[in-house]
């Protein structure tokens, strides 16, 4: 009589985990192994891995017709993390005791041909999804235990071989095999990778001169505003951008879990460092493709640079060198703080609430506007170079600052500029003021204030001034709103309850300084 073995796994679509029921059914007939339920190429290959891994445990039975179903069938499945639950479901279809012990557990792991269990990407969001689904136990590869244990309230079981998994599920004949495996040396390839040394953000004390740029950086950190630096080579644009994470507040528990889950799904997370508490700093090379920036790939999309920069900073150095279509693809995420990627097999959404910082030279040779410098570019080349940064994209950047080279007196003075620690304290105070003010509207950052709320707080003189600027074509309606948001941040940094003319003047100058 045919018997069905059942195990549970998790399929990821974006950051959303879906419970997958793995059913194995064997019956009389010509020997075959059919895998159904919309598997992708890497998952279809699991048939060979599972057969070899089960054989390596010493289990032998008469060959039969085996069908493995991944339910729900309409949901696309991808990745090698289904190897372990498929193998256990196949064994459970033969041994009722294994089936009983497997109930109430979720399994995730890739199998080697010798039966070893390897970690896969996205362990953290999968364990989190299992906990939300009501499961109390999750079995993962031994090398993934550290990452899985970051989720509280669920028991993590680590196994390094399929034999260990079967022994844990009650197969007594496997206990001797487990003892034999423990005497074997682990190959070097399975050794846990050393945690990388994290490179700290440069301190603002290292930045000399650039008073306006430092002020723009502080406002960007306090209000969550987007920022651009345009200046000659050697003016400190890149160093200023790299200082931004050092003056941002650390991530709270919810934010850290969300950011860490994204990096776990992308395979860039090192569990030895714990949850990611520092805002990420992502700086893709200018040769990055569109899918690399926004996410993509065949089948189910994977997170791109803008999602890896979620709750942190996305820095585009030499921005005009990026593909124009890649830059323009950032326009929608800058407004919505998320990205939705449509593919033939699935529609995937990832969070993308990042702060955009771009840096560019004023012309191809970089010397336009520099005192004592000789620009070799024609006027057409200069206009064409910066025109790669489209108007709609630049209109979404709140702070547009021109940066010049520091003076000799700035480099030789013994007076040290303010440190990142000092600036960060002001940033934290300003953010707390904004959070308290907008708590009834559920707003945390000034950069997220809706237009309808902004207009309620403007006096008639300020409205008239902004209307004249919009009517003259010097700024757009979106630009007027962004000037108001920056003015609120400047007021918070100065401890004011409301923006003054000085705050609006600073906001306007920081938005238009690149045009002067």
CATH number for position 28: 3.30.230.10
| pLDDT band at residue 397 under the 50/70/90 scheme | very high
Write out pLDDT tens, residues 290-340. Answer: 999 999 877 678 899 999 999 999 999 999 999 999 999 999 999 999 999
Report the pLDDT value the prediction gives residue 179, as an integer from 0 to 100.
Answer: 63
Mean pLDDT of the chain: 88
* Residues 146, 125: Cα–Cα separation, whole Å: 14
Partners of 356 in the beta sheet? 314
| pLDDT band at residue 455 under the 50/70/90 scheme | confident
Specify if 133 maps to a domain. Answer: yes
Show which of 143, 162, 190 is a domain's final residue. Answer: 190
Specify if 268 maps to a domain. Answer: yes
Show which of 396, 424, 452 is a domain's final residue. Answer: 424
Q: Are residues 157 and 263 in the same domain?
A: no
SS3 116: strand
Task: Tell me which residue of 514, 452, 29, 118 sits closest to 319, measured CA to CA.
Answer: 514
Q: Are residues 352 and 382 in the same domain?
A: yes
Alpha helices per DSSP H over 234-378: 237-247, 253-266, 290-294, 305-308, 324-328, 331-336
Task: Tell me which residue of 93, 388, 407, 105 sits closest to 236, measured CA to CA.
Answer: 407
Name the domain count of the chain. 2
CATH number of the domain that 275 lies in?
Answer: 3.40.50.300
Q: Are residues 288 and 320 in the same domain?
A: yes
First to last CA, the chain: 84
Specify if 208 maps to a domain. Answer: yes
Task: Tell me which residue of 131, 133, 135, 139 sits closest to 156, measured CA to CA.
Answer: 139
* Residues 299, 296: Cα–Cα separation, whole Å: 9
Specify if 487 maps to a domain. Answer: no
Q: Are residues 68 and 14 in the same domain?
A: yes
Write out pLDDT tens, residues 38-96. Answer: 898 889 999 999 999 999 888 887 788 899 999 999 888 988 999 999 999 999 998 88
Residue 102 CA neighbour count, 13 Å, CB half: 30
Q: Are residues 120 and 250 in the same domain?
A: no
404 or 487, which is more confident? 487
Write out pLDDT tens, residues 363-380. Answer: 998 888 777 678 889 989
Pair of tokens at residue 127: 């364990």
Q: Are residues 315 and 396 in the same domain?
A: yes
Q: Are residues 329 and 214 in the same domain?
A: yes
Q: Are residues 71 and 122 in the same domain?
A: yes
For residue 347, the surrounding DSSP H or E stretch is strand 347-351
Q: Are residues 137 and 244 in the same domain?
A: no
Residues constituting the chain = 516
CA distances in angstroms from 133 to 18, 255, 313, 466, listed in the order given:
9, 21, 32, 51
The β-bridge relationship of strands 137-141 and 155-159 is: parallel
Specify if 461 maps to a domain. Answer: no
Range of the domain at 166: 3-190
């Amino acid at each position: 009589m045919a018997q069905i073995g059942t195990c549970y796994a998790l399929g990821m679509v974006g950051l959303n985990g879906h419970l997958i029921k793995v059913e194995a059914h064997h019956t009389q007939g010509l020997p075959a192994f059919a895998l159904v339920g919309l598997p992708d190429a890497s998952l279809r290959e699991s048939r060979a891995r599972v057969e070899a891994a089960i054989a390596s445990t010493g289990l032998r039975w008469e060959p039969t017709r085996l069908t493995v179903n991944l339910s729900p069938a309409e949901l696309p499945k991808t990745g090698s993390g289904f190897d372990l639950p498929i193998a256990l479901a196949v064994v459970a279809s033969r041994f009722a005791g294994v089936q009983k012990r497997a109930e109430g557990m979720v399994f995730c792991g890739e199998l080697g041909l010798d039966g070893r269990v390897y970690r896969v990407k996205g362990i953290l969001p999968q364990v989190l999804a299992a906990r939300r689904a009501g499961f109390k136990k999750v079995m993962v590869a031994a090398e993934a235990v550290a990452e899985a244990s970051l989720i509280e309230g669920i028991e993590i079981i680590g196994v390094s071989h399929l034999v260990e998994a079967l022994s844990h599920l009650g197969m007594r004949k496997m206990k001797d095999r487990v003892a034999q495996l423990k005497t074997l040396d682990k190959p070097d390839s399975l050794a846990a990778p050393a945690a990388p040394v994290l490179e700290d953000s440069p301190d603002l004390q290292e930045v000399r001169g650039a008073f306006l740029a430092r002020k723009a950086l502080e406002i960007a950190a306090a209000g969550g505003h987007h920022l651009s630096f345009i200046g000659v080579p050697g003016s400190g644009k890149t160093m200023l951008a790299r200082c931004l994470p050092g003056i941002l507040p650390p991530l709270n528990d919810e934010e850290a879990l969300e950011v860490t889950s994204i990096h776990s799904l992308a395979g860039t997370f090192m569990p030895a460092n714990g949850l990611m508490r520092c805002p990420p700093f992502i700086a893709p090379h200018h040769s990055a493709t569109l899918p690399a920036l926004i996410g993509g790939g065949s089948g189910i999309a994977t997170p791109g640079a803008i999602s890896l920069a979620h709750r942190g900073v996305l820095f585009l150095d030499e921005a005009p060198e990026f593909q124009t279509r890649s830059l323009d693809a950032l326009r929608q995420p800058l407004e919505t703080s998320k990205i939705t990627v449509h593919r033939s097999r699935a529609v995937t959404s990832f969070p993308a609430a990042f702060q955009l910082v771009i840096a560019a030279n004023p012309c191809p040779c970089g010397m336009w506007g520099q005192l004592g410098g000789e620009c070799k570019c024609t006027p057409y080349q200069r206009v064409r170079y910066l025109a790669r940064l489209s108007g709609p994209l630049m209109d979404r950047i709140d702070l547009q600052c021109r940066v010049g080279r520091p003076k000799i007196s700035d480099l030789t003075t013994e007076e040290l500029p303010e440190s990142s620690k000092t600036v960060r304290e002001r940033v934290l105070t300003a953010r707390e003021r904004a959070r308290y003010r907008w708590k009834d509207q559920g707003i945390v950052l000034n950069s997220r204030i809706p237009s309808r709320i902004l207009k309620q707080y403007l006096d008639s003189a300020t409205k008239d001034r902004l209307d004249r600027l919009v009517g003259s074509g010097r700024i757009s309606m979106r630009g007027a709103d962004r000037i108001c948001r920056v003015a609120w941040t400047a007021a918070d940094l100065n401890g004011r309850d409301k923006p003054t003319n000085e705050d609006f003047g600073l906001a306007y100058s920081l938005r238009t300084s690149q045009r002067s």
